[in-house]
Structure 1
Amino acid sequence: MGQTHSSAPPPSIDALHHRLTARFAKACYTPLELYIFNRVFNSLAESSSGVKYWSEATLCRFLELPDALAGVGQVLFQMCGYLGAFPFPSRAPAILEREALLRVVTVMTERDGRVLKRGKRSWWAEIYRSLAVYERVVEKGGGASGGEDGGDGKAAEGGYTGFAVDEPGDEEDEQEDDDLVLAALNSMDAADAFKQGEKSSARHSMIPSDNLLKLIQLLLLVAPMDAQESLSTFAVDLSEHRIARLRRTAKAVLSSFGVDHSPGINFKTFLAVVSTSMPYLFNSLTPLFEHFLFAKDFDLSKRKASTTSVASEPPSTPPLVPPSTSSSQPPAPPRQPLLPSSTAEILTLPLLCQLSFFIPGATLFRRLQPLYSGGTDGFSLGSFEKKVLNWPGPSILLVSGSLLSPHGDSTSERNFLDTLPLKRLPNSTSSASATIIYGAYIPVPWKPTHRTCFSDSATLLFQLAPTHDVFHASPTHTDYAYFNKPPTLPAGLGFGSPIPYQTPSSSSHAAVSDKPLNLGPVSLHINAALEFAVFTHLASPSDASFVPSRLPGRRDRDFQDRFAVESLEVWGCGGDAEAEEQRKRWAWEEREAEARRRINLGTGDVEADRELLRLAGLIGGQGRDSGGSMG
């Protein structure tokens, strides 16, 4: 007779959640970390109808979110509610019970990469989902489809009714948005559940700009934090002035997302901006949520680590105080300041944290040395050369100022404008009074340039205010940076512009100086007096050394900022070893200069004097200064 085939019913979503959480617990955490996580959860959990969970107030209290950053706790709790339902968005927002909170910590700290095969873009997509609000797609007949529209972005009986800022049309982006969810479901052999309605579409979603602004302020505040540091340490003395400065920097970062032209940030814009101009924006979420795994009051001498599963109830323990409030441990030795004490006019702590959104924090925090400041050392190329060119490692140049009027208000302004090309491009900002801040990251030591530029493809050109933007070096053209002293032209500092080749038979200095500067398509030039600067951006260049902007409001725009330099700073990236090497080079130069001064020539015999200098090693065999040796 015929045979009947029976198949087991598919597992429930609750069962799949438990299975994924168990995999996370086994592969992403040590038994000690799980034990501490359980203690943290139990000590602060509230209970209702037999369910233990964390409320928004509990989460904010444990993470020590400062009251001065109003509303950021609500944003962070929304993110946790979404990630607690991972990978089933239909279950969001999730109650933050034990397993849900562990899934939150796993995704926020990126430990999920130990289980799920995914790329950084997929993780960013999940962060986007946790921040977004979703629009319901409404059928023509008036019924709500709840977003079940077959994934094509249209209502069942009519046209598109989602947000105008996020109309459908980029299938590749949507597929990439689902990669992390697919990886989680495939790891549990549950891809069918994804096909049955768990697919999350980002086409009908947007991040409210005010919510992202609140989160950016928090990310700026905690950017230097590591897992065993308390957030309260960085929130000390959050005065109105400091909050205003933090908010001003956050607004410059937020402007990258084009919020001036749309009610919120859609998925495509979010992914493009984060991936190109701030790839480390969310890195500080990792140490913030690793606080769940480090309890400072935990003493290994009192109890061995438990291998209790995260899903089981650990033994009853006394209330656990948040990591920062424990007094059982001796105070840690003082650390170096995040930013060395100096008379810096541009680089504030919020600006330093903004730099860490695209330059690794390990290069910046407690690693910067002040090399040059125009306000302290004088605005001259000679002073700049003495202070900067002996630094043996990478450095960061920052320049700030105010926009010039179209025709110049003084003789010096008009003289500078006369050196620029006649074609005038619009400013990057509509605010004539805005403070302009540009900069460059130079990964190699500075050196004088005469015929070719220096630096390599790791060089970055960037703007910090009034809009955050980053221009990466192009591998095809290598006019990355120059330092030119007169009579070499163009004299000054620059990035992205070629140096004209000059021979001794070239036309006179005056004739050459009459020619307009040969500015690169994406370039920054500061004149020889360090008095004026010009930043140029052409959206479609053919020979640029730096890639044009990819920001939504700029990718098709040509602009040029001509501004008066008010502050100019250079910071060396390095520690005590680099500073000591620079001091040795300065000392060697002083000894050489003193040796030159003490040589008593005065014989009247030019050839004898030259031979004496040659024997002393101060000039080469052809009578030119050899520069000596540091031997």
Structure 2
Amino acid sequence: MGQSQSNEGRRHATTEQLSHELASKFAKRCFTPLELYSFQDVFKSLADYQDNIAYLKEDTIARFLEIPDILGVSSVVFQMLSYLGAFPFGKDAPVVLGFEQMIMVVVIMTERYQRVLRKGNRDRTKLFFRSMAVYDRREPHNETEKADGGTEIDKQKLEDAGTTRSHAAGFAVDEPVSYEEEEEEDDDDLALAALESLDAIEVFQHGDAPISQASIPSDNLKKLIMLLLLIAPLGAQESLALHAERLSGEQLEGLRKTADNILAAFVNVEKFPGVKIHQFNTVISSSLPFLFNGFNPLFEHFLFSKNIDFTKRKDSTGAPVPPPLDPTAEQPLLAQTGEILDLNVLSQLSFFIPGNSLFRRLRLLYSGSDAGFSMGSFETKVFNWRAPTILLVSGSRIADPPIGGQERAFSDTLPPKRFPDSSKSSRVVFGVYLGQPWRQTHKDCFGDAETLLFQLEPVHEVFHASSINTDYVSYTKSPVPHPGIAFGSPHPKPKATSGLSPLVNLGAVSLMLDSSFEFGVFTHNYTSGGGAFHNSVTRRRDWQDRFEIESLEVWGCGGDAEAEQQRQRWAWEEKEAEARRRINIGKGDIEADRALLEMAGLIGGNRSGGSMS
């Protein structure tokens, strides 16, 4: 009976009461006492007041988080926060960002909601989409009516806080997406899980317009991507101002270019004005799973008050707790810049490879421009690295039909080109993440299901490995007919058993580099259904890029331990080579020398070994 009365009370609770209860629950279970105290202190120091109501304004938040003005993204971020502050009642957005609303914001931005909402099995993707979306003006809906009755005072507060209504009528989406959209459920898993944690699931009524009518303006998404590229390497309590050098000159232009490549994964900006929910969910889940990770350390700044002297704290032994480490004292994010890999591309890689394997952990093992474009120099530099590696290759697309003699010779080794180019852009950048050490292959490919084949420019996309087809990586030399490095293609057979076709056997989704590292080809045979790597999830068509290689780099993922292991391996090989050079040959005893060479298998049988005289 008592339970039924409780449920009846929940049924008549207002959204304001439920939001208050959820904020209290989040504060107690998602923050430590010190974090909550810090949050209260930070909020109090930043808040403006109207009618005794404390709230944060757009410029205040942007200044506190040190969001650079040059990105023009502060209004986009504030729109997101004004929606997230209304959680779990999106229909009430945008809201004034008071104390309780900012608790919602910080909990969601730092993913601490997982400590309470165990059934919120999906990530923040759909919630973030709604927070940035505008709706097709051809589908009007009533977004001004509030469940608890909005007032003119509320509207004035919103204006004073600099709020932009995230769900006002926006641009019209004139064309459907280029592929068939799947139906998306409107129910938000996180919102449902939040209300279920309050035993108030029956009061949930989604007030937002159908999500299929919503789109994120492309320009807004590009601004946000630029911010995410900038904050990707942030550490705990690290100031964003420390990365200001990335916002000037060539680095700023590179930041914009990298953001364009990532935006191209979501939408063709020349044809469509915005990004739909299916595109957003599909691209992030397949190619950008860690896109929003930088929000975690950025918004944790709200949980660290500069007014608290941490030097006075003591640990369990009574010793003083040292202050947080100065991030500037750490080694650089990237020890050296390559021709392909710079800080912007490094951040781009961290969107699908965990950042703790990348930032301050990459070493340039091989660069074709420095070591020479040959498989011999590649082996010398790369084969002894016993940790994961990242191969990057860039180039310019060759003409079709090819013009120069070398281009024609390369094209003659490939099957006739049946597919169009992937895009109008002449420059392409591809790469591979490989968890196993490199080696020469003779019969079978190497690699595992964690191997990633990806494109970084002009369209960002990750092609995941199949668990059935294991033709991941082959590294072959003569006597195979077409030696080189291939990813996603069947292992080439020796000349004696190569069959009837003299052409390279390209996989359905594959990257191949010839043995001289002059040319490469990336194939996406969508019709075939994929091979060792899965098809594109967005570009549902056949295409092929044949290109002249301009830069080729291999980066080792690891620290000092991996580098020392490589150094020891090099030292051992040098010692073995020196021992072979010291073999007593040519000292006058021809018969002894011949016997030694025969035991080594260098002469005898069908091997003449040349003249000993």
Normalised TM-score (structure 2): 0.86
Question: Residue 361 of structure 2 aligns with which residue?
Answer: 367
TM superposition shift of 1:228:
1.4
1:269 maps to a residue whose letter is Q
Match of 1:324 in 2: none
Q: Which amino acid aligns with 1:49?
A: D
Structure 1 counterpart of 2:421: 427
Spell out, residue by residue over 1:271-296, the C-alpha distance to the aligned partner (whole angstroms, 9 max, x if none). 01100011000111111101111234
Aligned residues: 564
Matched, 1:378 2:369: no
Compute the displacement of 1:333 (Å): 6.6
CA contact (8 A) 2:122 2:189 kept: no
1:137–1:21: structure 2 CA closer, same or farther, 3 Å change rule? farther
Q: CA deviation at 1:236?
A: 3.3
Alpha-carbon spacing, 1:622–1:72, altered in 2? closer, same or farther (3 Å)? farther
| Contact 2:107/2:113, CA 8 A, preserved across alignment | yes
Shift of residue 608, structure 1, vs aligned partner:
2.4
Task: Give the counterpart letter for 1:470 in structure 2.
Answer: V
Q: Which residue of 1 aligns with 2:571?
A: 587
Would you say the 8 A contact 2:91–2:143 is kept in 1? Answer: no
Residues 475 and 450 of structure 1: is their aligned pair in 2 closer, same or farther, counting only changes over 3 Å? same
Letter in 2 for 1:77: F
**Structure 1 residue 405: deviation in Å?**
0.6
Map 1:532-547 to 2 at 5 A. 532-542=519-529, 544-547=531-534
Structure 2 residue 184 is matched with structure 1 residue 173: yes
Q: Which residue of 1 aligns with 2:595?
A: 608
Structure 1 residues 122 and 280, CA gap change in structure 2 (3 angstroms): closer
User: In the alignment, which residue of structure 1 is the partner of 2:162?
Assistant: none
Q: Deviations over 1:220-277 (max 9, x none)?
A: 0110001211111112362132211100000000000123332101111100110001
Query: Does structure 2 retain, via aligned residues, the 8 Å contact 1:136–1:146?
Result: no
3-state DSSP class of the match of 1:286? Answer: helix
Is this contact kept in 2: 1:166–1:206, CA < 8 A? no
Q: Distance in 2 between matches of 1:230 and 1:32?
A: 20
Contact 2:184 2:212 in 1 (8 A): no
Q: How many angstroms apart in 2 are the aligned matches of 1:46 and 1:429?
A: 50
Residue in 2 that maps onto 1:285 = 295
Distance 1:451 1:468 in 2: 32
Please name the residue that 2:58 is paired with. Answer: 56
- 1:502 aligned onto 2:494: yes
In the alignment, the residues of structure 2 paired with residue 597 and residue 412 of structure 1 have an alpha-carbon distance, to the nearest angstrom, of 39
Say if 1:422 and 1:30 are closer, same or farther in 2 by CA, change over 3 A.
Answer: same
1:117-148 deviation digits (Å, cap 9, x = unpaired): 34563421111111111346658xxxx55599
Give the equivalent residue in structure 2 for 1:389. 383
Rate the CA distance shift 1:75–1:333 in 2: closer, same or farther, 3 A.
closer
Q: Find the residue that maps to 1:27 and give its secondary structure.
A: helix
SS in structure 2 at match of 1:206: strand
Equivalent of 2:433 in 435, 441, 455:
441
Instruction: Look up the SS of the partner of 1:483 in the other structure.
Output: strand
CA contact (8 A) 1:297 1:329 kept: no
CA distance in 1, matches of 2:197, 2:527: 44
In structure 2, the residue matched to 1:337 is 332
User: Which residue of structure 1 lines up, in the alignment, with residue 409 of structure 2?
Assistant: 415
Contact between 2:173 and 2:272, CA under 8 Å: does it hold in 1? no
Is 1:228 the equivalent of 2:248? no
TM-score, normalization by structure 1: 0.84
- Provide the C-alpha distance between the structure 2 equivalents of 1:54 and 1:146, rounded to a whole number of angstroms: 23
By how many angstroms is 1:598 displaced? Answer: 1.7
CA RMSD after TM alignment:
2.9
Task: Give the match for residue 242 of structure 1.
Answer: 251
Aligned to 2:308: 298
Q: Distance in 1 between matches of 2:574 and 2:311?
A: 58
Alignment-mate amino acid for residue 485 of structure 2? L
Residues 445 and 621 of structure 1: CA distance in aligned 2, closer, same or farther (over 3 Å): farther
User: In the superposition, relative to structure 1, how do residues 133 and 334 fare at CA in structure 2: closer, same or farther (>3 Å)?
Assistant: same
Per-residue deviation, residues 538-583 of structure 1 (Å, max 9, x unmatched): 11324600001002xx1x2100000000000000111111111111
Residues 178-577 of structure 1 aligned to structure 2 (within 5 Å): 178-195=188-205, 197-198=206-207, 201-236=210-245, 238-260=247-269, 261-300=271-310, 331=326, 334-342=329-337, 344-431=338-425, 434-502=426-494, 505-506=496-497, 515-542=502-529, 544-551=531-538, 554=539, 556-577=540-561
210-219 or 288-297: which moved more?
A: 288-297
Cα 1:138–1:358 change in 2 (3 A) is: closer
SS at match of 2:333: coil
Q: Which residue of 2 aligns with 1:110?
A: 111
For the structure 1 residues 164 and 621, does the alpha-carbon distance in structure 2 shift closer, same or farther, using more than 3 Å as the test?
A: farther
SS of the residue aligned with 2:107? helix
The one-letter code sitting in structure 2 at the alignment partner of 1:272 is T
TM-fit CA distance, 1:375: 0.3
Structure 2: distance between partners of 1:427 and 1:216: 26
Residue 204 of structure 1 deviates from its aligned partner by: 1.7
Contact 2:122 2:190 in 1 (8 A): no
**What is the Cα deviation at residue 494 of structure 1?**
1.0
Shift of 1:166: 6.6
Counterpart amino acid of residue 505 in structure 2: N
Q: 1:166–1:267: 8 Å Cα contact kept in structure 2?
A: no
Unaligned runs of 5+ in 1: 149-160, 306-327, 625-631
Percent identity reads: 50
- The answer as to whether partners of 1:137 and 1:145 remain within 8 angstroms in 2 is no
- The gaps in structure 2 that reach 5 residues or longer are 146-170, 316-322, 608-613
What's the CA shift for 1:330? 8.5
Question: Closer, same or farther in 2 for the Cα pair 1:524/1:331, shift >3 Å?
Answer: closer
